[in-house]
Structure 1
Amino acid sequence: MRRRLFPGGLVLLMAGSALAQAPGDPDSTLPEGVDSSTVADSSAYDDDDPWEGFNRGVFRFNEVIDRNLAKPVARGYNAVTPTPVNTGVSNFFNNLGELNNISNSLFQAKGEAALISTGRFVFNSTFGILGLFDVASYMELPEQEEDFGQTLGYWGVDTGPYLVLPFLGPSTVRDSAGMGVDYFNPDGWDLIESPESYYAIGLYAVDLRASLLSYEDRITGDRYNFIRNTYLQRRNYLVNDGVVENDPFAEQDEDLMLDDF
């Protein structure tokens, strides 16, 4: 599921604190056979986090914003919004991100992915009534999730240290630079004119945080480590298009098995 952030006061706090709690779906991004309950205690990514002291401070700040603002609003939104409407809102915003998927696929010379994303945008915008219905998935056109951070990784730019951004949550030096490029990259959001765009962004932020509530019970152990490890694993997974050559979690499991003998 594709998500982006936008500036703008309260909206930035809402969307940013949501992303701060969004390590990705552990079931879909962790290597096969790895129990998500072991992720929080893993030291696999300690070397990628040389600024941990600073990052933990920013993480605690983001947690306060999320706990006192984003999460209560998201819970209220889920309580009053029927499931079909909730799904339609999520589909609409995901469809707006397809143009960014297209451009980054082209930047990475992925012609097939660009065609699939183009097809998704066209079919969902027409037959899916402005993206409210994800008809493209039923047509076996899966989402090609791409952003400029992935594009930089595709062309060999090193990820750099892990970095927790105020309001914006988990990132890396490379992904932070990519986020800035994505913001200025024309996409579906340009089709919404002001002031309507600000209402849409606000709804987007609330819908984003609401969609993450179901993942709360999957976070175990040290919350900071869990989110960091899962975020970095997910980014590695996306940059390599699902091919994880070096699996730090699997390597740790093998070490633990050897220690048992």
Structure 2
Amino acid sequence: MVAGLTACASTQTAETGVVNDPYEGFNRQMFAFNNEVDKYALGPAASAYETVTPRFARDRVGDFLQNLKSPVIFVNDLLQGEGDRASTTLGRFMVNTTFGIAGLWDVAGYNGIEGHSEDFGQTLAVWGVDSGPYLVMPLLGPTTPRDLFGSGVDRAMDPLTWTEFADNPDLDDHIAIGRGVLGGLNARVALDDQIEQLNAQPEPYVALRRIYSSQRQAEIRNGRLNEAEAYEDLPDFDEYED
């Protein structure tokens, strides 16, 4: 669910707005599995992390990790032909890495230079590659074949993937693990209220699928959908009141 509410995947056809979910049976099983992992592992770990880590420290972790994504975002901006957005990404990275002390503070954001997110899945969408069917993967959460492939390319683009430390050959692996764990915990804490609201829905699987799809479409277009469009095909929850 963290992946579904923070990242995005396009599974909505332009003509009908219907999510392409031919593997719904499998996807629901994976959704239930991920829910159990969140309930018994990720959720409690995030609660403990929130308890021992003050908000100020979590904000610094979030800004630092976001700054590390800048090289990948910059390359995808260029691949999409978005020169202005690429300039913004580069400017933010330079400002935050220097004046923000290695990205611990989003100085650029505080001064009105807002960031954005891009990934190779979005780049493929801009190039006209179809998303393929909606998928829910164990632990990874919602995605599509296009975006699953794109995430692998993004990892290959990331300079930290190829960084080696001569004095400590295992340090790069430790950094990658630490980055993933902290990023997951930070995201889980930030999205706690949204996840509670999602679980309160009679059909959280359908709700998440729609939210995920709609958000992805908005990000591909570098804009946002209005609320009515984002939830137009959710089921009538009044049906479930009895």
* TM-score category, normalised to shorter length: 0.7 to 0.9
In structure 2, which of residues 208, 220, 233 is the aligned counterpart of residue 239 of structure 1?
220
Describe the superposition over 1:198-257 as per-residue Cα deviations: whole angstroms up to 9, x where unpaired: 334332332222222132233233111111100000000011111659x8557669xxxx
Q: Distance in 2 between matches of 1:215 and 1:187?
A: 32
Distance change (3 Å), C-alpha of 1:244 and 1:213: closer
Distance change (3 Å), C-alpha of 1:227 and 1:175: same
The Cα shift of 1:185 comes to 1.0
Secondary structure, aligned partner of 1:85: helix
- Which structure 1 residue ranges, 5 or more long, are not aligned? 1-16, 26-43, 254-261
CA contact (8 A) 1:237 1:243 kept: yes
Paired residue for 1:101?
73
The Cα shift of 1:188 comes to 5.5
Q: Distance in 1 between matches of 2:94 and 2:73?
A: 13
Paired residue for 2:191?
212
In structure 2, which of residues 114, 118, 123 is the aligned counterpart of residue 142 of structure 1?
114
Amino acid at match of 2:204: R
Q: Distance in 2 between matches of 1:251 and 1:226?
A: 11
In structure 2, which of residues 68, 86, 95 is the aligned counterpart of residue 114 of structure 1?
86
Q: Distance in 2 between matches of 1:227 and 1:140?
A: 31
Which one is further off, 158-167 or 211-220? 211-220
Describe the superposition over 1:88-124 as per-residue Cα deviations: whole angstroms up to 9, x where unpaired: 1111101101111101001101111111001111111
Aligned CA RMSD, in angstroms, stands at 2.5
Matches of residues 67-82 of structure 1 in structure 2 within 5 Å?
Answer: 67-82=39-54
CA contact (8 A) 1:99 1:188 kept: no
Matched, 1:128 2:109: no
Taking structure 2 as the reference length, the TM-score comes to: 0.80
Distance change (3 Å), C-alpha of 1:117 and 1:187: farther
Matched, 1:153 2:125: yes
Secondary structure, aligned partner of 1:164: strand
Q: Distance in 1 between matches of 2:121 and 2:98?
A: 30
Paired residue for 1:36?
none
Matched, 1:23 2:21: no
In structure 1, which of residues 200, 213, 228 is the aligned counterpart of residue 209 of structure 2?
228
Distance change (3 Å), C-alpha of 1:127 and 1:210: same
Paired residue for 2:11?
none
Amino acid at match of 2:208: I
Distance change (3 Å), C-alpha of 1:46 and 1:61: farther
In structure 1, which of residues 75, 85, 102 is the aligned counterpart of residue 57 of structure 2?
85
Distance change (3 Å), C-alpha of 1:184 and 1:141: same
Identity of aligned residues (%): 35
CA contact (8 A) 2:77 2:83 kept: yes
Matched, 1:201 2:183: no
Q: Distance in 1 between matches of 2:44 and 2:196?
A: 16
The Cα shift of 1:192 comes to 8.5
Q: Distance in 2 between matches of 1:110 and 1:59?
A: 35
Q: Distance in 2 between matches of 1:90 and 1:250?
A: 29
Secondary structure, aligned partner of 1:23: helix
CA contact (8 A) 1:18 1:66 kept: no
